[in-house]
Amino acid sequence: MAHFEDPTNEYSTVHSSSEGEVLSRLRRATWLSTTKPQMLSDPIQGRFLAIISKMIKPVRILELGTFTGYSTICLSEGLEKEGVIDTVEINDELQEIHEKYFKEAGISEIVRRHYGHALEIMKSGEIEGPYDLIWIDADKEHQIEYVEFAISKLKTGGWLLIDNVIWGGSVFDKKKLNKADSGASRIHRLNQYIVECKKVENVLIPVWDGLQVLRKI
């Protein structure tokens, strides 16, 4: 998740519900103990994920890209009773922070953690649908594979959210788009795939670093 320090973001944060003490402590721990804390969802995005989850009231959630678990906790806020979250993280060195803050948030029993590359875990059969809500904030090299998999695991009428689909504005840069292996080119191909996919309806929302919202039809 890219962070943009601007008056709009600051004003929105002040005039939105608080993230709460556990998430605030997790935010601080992330900035103190990880090498790329900027990957963390900001408070506004966290509240957005929580509100969306409460609107959908999912029984099953899949998350690709746990990082330190901030978005996991936010998504759990709308989970129905007996609900579960499957969350996938490539970096198993984050297990300790997951254990600590999932316990503090009271969600240890409903979060099923999977460590390893998402592609390998997808192939292993560890995560099976159908899901009501899927959140993708993982590596960008394999985004189309992740989205194809996610759509196949969504219930009809289920929701898929994908972060970083404007990629710092690079999707508007023709020079970067002409490089087939560039991040901009990969993200552009993802957005083209989504808008042409007959299995979903979607809207690309120009907030944060771009957010794709898909509904399976």
pLDDT tens digit sequence for 67-103: 999 999 999 999 999 999 999 999 999 999 999 999 9
137 within a domain of the structure (yes/no): yes
Where is average pLDDT lowest: 76-85, 126-135, 176-185, 189-198?
A: 176-185
2 within a domain of the structure (yes/no): no
115 within a domain of the structure (yes/no): yes
Number of compact structural domains in the chain: 1
Query: Structure tokens of 30?
Result: 């992330």
Question: Which amino acid belongs to residue 55?
Answer: M
The yes-or-no verdict on residue 177 having pLDDT over 90 is no
Question: Which amino acid belongs to residue 201?
Answer: E
Instruction: Give the domain CATH number at 96.
Output: 3.40.50.150
Cis peptide before 206 (omega within 30 of 0): no
What residues make up the domain containing 153? 7-216
1 within a domain of the structure (yes/no): no
Q: In degrees rounded to 5, what are phi and psi of residue 200?
A: -135, 160
Query: Structure tokens of 101?
Result: 């803050």
